[in-house]
Amino acid sequence: MTKGPLAGVRIVEFGGIGPGPMCAMLLADLGADVIRIDRPEPHGLGTPRPDRFNILKRSRPSVSIDLKQKEGIEAALRLAEQADALIEGFRPGTMERMGLGPEVCFARNRKLVFGRMTGWGQDGPLAMAAGHDINYISLSGVLHSIGRKGQPPTPPLVLTGDFGGGALYLALGVLSAVIEARTSGQGQVVDASMVDGSASLMTDYYGRYAAGLHNDERGTNATDSGAFYFDAYRCADGKYISIAPVEPKFRAELMRKLGLDDRKPSLDEMHNDEAREILRGVFGTRTRAEWCTLLEGSDACFAPVLSLREAPRHPHNVARGTFVEVDGIVQPAPAPRFSRTPTALPTKPDIPGQSTASAMARWGFPQQEIDTLTRAGVLGPRSK
């Protein structure tokens, strides 16, 4: 029995990489019953790693279905018949060519939500072109905006395209359409594009730019390292801290704690680069731990810059259970949190095809049929 606010919601996920699995993980973390269809043969997508470390695939069973066989297509359609939503991340037209397009699925289940995740979108002149996160956020204006003054754009991992503009927007779209379908009785296609989603994430900045409050030159604005009070600084031990006292009252608190409150002229009255150099000198006099002792928990808007090794051990994260350990792997816990329908601890990722028989049975396939399809090579664990 699943736990969480999405308990009872059923979702079919067609295996892929990046934002699709991230979206499915988010929904499974919140209690949805997600079944992942993996290919019967290794497909070589993504960076090779042992299956137990591919934690985007956590908390849901993997079934192996050969979608090159008509019986495999039929099995997938029967899963879709029982689902509230379907998630796929192939190039436009791929599902249609396999015989699993929206119209075919709607004929089996008129309330089905058909979630489609792509970089460029389902249409437009670039729809069929290959690409990855950095390409999509280049087109939306995100990449141009991130980096220091006079330096090339800085790729923000794949957080803004794949995961922020992709997975989160697909999850939002799918859940919105599922809610609507419960009223209308009709499903629909959700066209989630990483260009669209990452552009949406930039909404506030486009508004500021239109108002003349945000420069199009990166590294010259308050929140892109252009302000001395919104930046990371190196400490005496080579580690870093961050400050963000954007509001004057918080900046005054930082200056007081740093012993700069009586300085004339004040840092606010100085050229930004000069003020930054003064703070570099100050923060370089003590270790990160010493600055934490002085500033952490105050209204100076301060935090240590933690590594992936350090973050799970920070007292605040420990107190809140922000990270959990599953199968010996430390990883972020499900988020957000719910007062009445708390989520369960994540389960370790399935090896592709590991739960084929049990998951298909749970989704209503008779054992005799599972055995027959397995002998025919339609169902089964992934080939080595």
Q: What CATH number corresponds to the domain at position 87?
A: 3.40.50.10540
Number of folded domains in the chain?
A: 2
Is residue 130 domain-shared with residue 56, that is, in the same domain? yes
- Position 43 scores a pLDDT of 55
Q: Round the CA-based radius of gyration of the chain to a whole number and report it.
A: 25
Assess if residue 147 is contained within a domain: yes
Nearest to 164 by CA among 128, 185, 192, 131: 192
DSSP 123-181: SSTTTTS---HHHHHHHTTHHHHSS-TTS-----TTIIIIIIIIIIHHHHHHHHHHHHH
Give CA–CA dist 367/141, Å, rounded: 52
* Rounded distance between C-alpha atoms, residue 84 and residue 110, angstroms: 10
pTM score: 0.95
* pLDDT given at position 40: 83
102 found inside a domain: yes
Respond yes or no: is residue 162 known to be catalytic.
yes
Q: Look at residues 384, 309, 381, 329 and name the one whose alpha carbon lies nearest to residue 38.
A: 381
Q: Coil, helix or strand for 192?
A: strand
pLDDT, position 1 = 61
- The single residue listed with the structure tokens 């708390």 is 342
Residue matched to tokens 């486009």: 206
Residues 275 and 197 occupy one common structural domain:
no
How far apart, in whole angstroms, are the C-alpha atoms of residue 275 and residue 220? 14
CATH number, domain containing residue 258: 3.30.1540.10
Buried b (16+ CB within 10 A) or exposed e, 328-349: eeebebbeeeeeeeebbebebb
In a domain, 81, yes or no: yes
**pLDDT at residue number 201:** 98
Task: Please write the tens of the pLDDT for every residue from 30-57.
Answer: 999 999 999 887 655 556 789 999 999 9
User: pLDDT above 90 covers what percent of the chain?
Assistant: 95
Residue 43: DSSP 8-state: -
pLDDT of 152 over the 90 cut: yes
Catalytic residue among 132, 144, 191, 314, which?
132
Position 384 scores a pLDDT of: 47
The answer to the question of residue 233 being in a domain is no
Is 80 exceeded by the pLDDT of residue 106? Answer: yes
Residue 111 lies in a domain: yes
List the structure tokens of 117. 């995740």
Q: Kindly report, residue by residue over 129-141, the tens digit of the pLDDT.
A: 999 999 999 999 9
| pLDDT tens-digit readout, 221-233 | 999 999 999 999 9
Q: Are residues 80 and 178 in the same domain?
A: yes
> pLDDT, tens digit, for every residue of 260-298?
999 999 999 999 999 999 999 999 999 999 999 999 999
Q: Could you tell me if residue 232 is inside a domain? A: no
Residue 189 has pLDDT above 90, yes or no: yes
In the predicted structure, residue 94 carries a pLDDT above the cut 70: yes
Q: What is the DSSP letter of 57?
A: G
The answer to whether position 4 is within a domain reads no
Centre a 10 Å sphere on the Cβ of residue 322 and count the other Cβ atoms it contains. 14
Mean pLDDT of 353-365: 97
**Catalytic-role residue among 162, 196, 224, 231:** 162
Residue 318 located in a structural domain: no
Spatial distance between the Cα atoms of 332 and 324, rounded to a whole number of angstroms: 6
**Spatial contact of 365 and 357, defined as CB atoms under 8 Å apart:** no
Average pLDDT over residues 324-332: 98
341 with 262, same domain? Answer: no
Q: Are residues 158 and 292 in the same domain?
A: no
Residues 95 and 183 in one domain: yes
